[in-house]
Amino acid sequence: MKTADEILKESMVIDAHLDLMSDLERKHAMGRQHVIKEDYLESFRAGCVDVIFAAIFVDDEYLPEQGLRQALRQVEALYTELDELRDEVVIVRNTDEIREARHQGKIGILITMEGVEPLNGDVSLLRIFYDLGVRVLGLCWARSNWAADGARFYSERPGYGITEDGERLIEYAQKLGMLLDVSHLNFTGFWDLIYLTGCPFIATHSNVYEISHSPRNLMDKQLAVMMERSCVVGLNGVSMMLRFEDQEHASLDDLIRHYCYLKEHGMLEIAGLGLDQFDRMNHQTANETFDVIKTHEELPLFVEKLMETGFTESEIKGILGDNLMRLLASTIG
């Protein structure tokens, strides 16, 4: 039997959500340089990570006036970082580039957008971000904007779904060849998206509502339609997503429970990784949410847990990245 390390080394390993872009910009503004090299690269390598989905996310304090500027500063921070890491990290835009990066021993960064506030209602600006490398588009975060209404973290408040401007944005995003992300979209918006498009989509960092009743998690009927459309849900490693009613006792076992639920219900082929990793962003204090996988260095422990629970090598490779590669091939190319 292969070891966890052997399976990891053989696998395509993709983490579908990390707030890397805002972290880079924030640390650059503090005078830091070489952030990926000093804070991330070693853990990426230790976890055999091939691709990181790096999210552009703009905090409330910059909205609305500075949203576009802040988003572009995040992209600039990433490009500046990669200037010194040409032999180790590269932006990837499709599955061919992902495979080529892996062949060359490089880590791929696939840029995503978590909330379209930077566009400030101008759908045409999406083309600029596409040309800069953005390939995955989430209409909103846990707030309302001009395109859609987001699911809140602690409140199941009713809200609007996707607006007319949001519909135009979806149409343009699909014309460009972008993958849509529903992770922060509220319940109404999710079903609006189902009505508006027949294409597969992704939930980059969400979990199973039946196990953890976070308003951010996906109900069975949502997971079922994702299965029908060959989508992917990147399961989130943050405590509030894993064990909403008892966050302080969340553990890696809880993350495994979410994968087991998908397997028991015949939906494991939509399972991926979307760890989120709040802790390493240094934004929160004690007694708040935390990660059950602190850094990617702990991925061997995650694979060991899956093996101990009875997941096959093929199933584990699907979770680590094969399922997501299938989705990417059918959407962004």
Interior/surface letters 37-76, b for 16+ CB within 10 angstroms, e for the rest: eebbbebbeebbbbbbbbbbbbeeebbeeebbebbbbbbe
Instruction: Name which of 89-98, 277-286, 324-333 the model is least confident about.
Output: 277-286
Mean pLDDT of the 8-26 span: 97
**The pLDDT of residue 109:** 98
Contact between 149 and 186 under an 8 Å Cβ cutoff? The reply is yes
Phi-psi group of 36: left, alpha or beta (phi > 0 → left; psi -120 to 50 → alpha; rest → beta): alpha
Angle between helices 299-309 and 252-264 (to 10 degrees): 50
DSSP state of 117: G
Q: How far from 277 is each of 5, 12, 136, 223, 320, CA to CA, in Å?
A: 21, 20, 19, 23, 16
DSSP-derived 3-state class of residue 277: coil
Q: 3-state class of 162 per DSSP?
A: strand
pLDDT in tens, 174-233: 999 999 999 999 999 999 999 999 999 999 999 999 999 999 999 999 999 999 999 999
What one-letter code names the amino acid at 281? M
Is residue 203 within 8 A of residue 181, CB to CB? The reply is yes
Extract the tokens encoding 128.
């600029």
Domain ranges of the chain: 4-331
Q: Cα torsion at 309, 314, 315, 316 (round to 10°)? A: 70
Cβ contact 321:14 at 8 Å: yes
Q: Given pLDDT bands bounded at 50, 70 and 90, which one contains residue 52?
A: very high
**Which pLDDT belongs to residue 154?**
72
Helix (H) or strand (E) holding 241: helix 239-242
What pLDDT score was predicted for residue 286? 46
Provide mean pLDDT across the span 57-79. 95
- pLDDT, residue 288, reads 65
Q: Enter the CATH code of domain 4-331.
A: 3.20.20.140
Q: Are 223 and 270 in contact (CB under 8 A)?
A: yes
pTM of the model: 0.96
Report helix, strand or coil for 233: strand
* Opening angle at CA 307, ends 209 and 11, nearest 5: 90
Q: Please say if the pLDDT value at position 91 is more than 90.
A: yes
CA atoms within 13 A on the CB side of 232: 29
- Which tokens sit at 84? 């010194």
pLDDT (mean) for 18-43: 97
pLDDT in tens, 248-302: 999 999 999 999 999 999 999 999 999 999 777 755 444 566 899 999 999 999 9
